[in-house]
Amino acid sequence: NTWRIVLPDNGRQWKDWKHASTVYSRNRIQTTKYTWFTFLPRNLLRQFHRLGNLYFFFLVVLNWFPQVEVFHREITMLPLVMVLLFSMIKDAVEDYRKYQYDKIINFTKTRVYDK
pLDDT digits (tens, 9 = 90+) for 6-22: 666 555 555 555 565 55
What range defines the domain where residue 81 resides?
35-107
Residues contacting 76, CB < 8 A, separation 6+: 59, 60, 63, 70
Q: Is there a domain that residue 12 lies in?
A: no
The predicted structure's pLDDT at residue 98: 94
Q: Is there a domain that residue 29 lies in?
A: no
Enclosing H/E stretch for 103? helix 73-106
Q: Is there a domain that residue 61 lies in?
A: yes
Q: Is there a domain that residue 24 lies in?
A: no
Q: How many domains does the chain have?
A: 1
The predicted structure's pLDDT at residue 70: 75
Question: Helix crossing, 51-62 with 73-106: angle to 10°?
Answer: 150
**What is d(CA 3, CA 113) in angstroms, rounded to the nearest whole number?**
5
Q: Is there a domain that residue 58 lies in?
A: yes
Characterize the bridge pairing of strands 110-114 and 2-6: antiparallel
pLDDT digits (tens, 9 = 90+) for 9-65: 555 555 555 565 555 566 678 889 999 999 999 999 999 999 989 998 998 888 888
Q: Is there a domain that residue 79 lies in?
A: yes
Q: Is there a domain that residue 49 lies in?
A: yes
Q: Is there a domain that residue 21 lies in?
A: no
DSSP result, 40-87: HHHHHHHHTTSHHHHHHHHHHHHTTSTTT--S-HHHHHHHHHHHHHHH
pLDDT digits (tens, 9 = 90+) for 70-115: 777 788 889 899 999 999 999 999 999 999 998 888 877 766 666 5
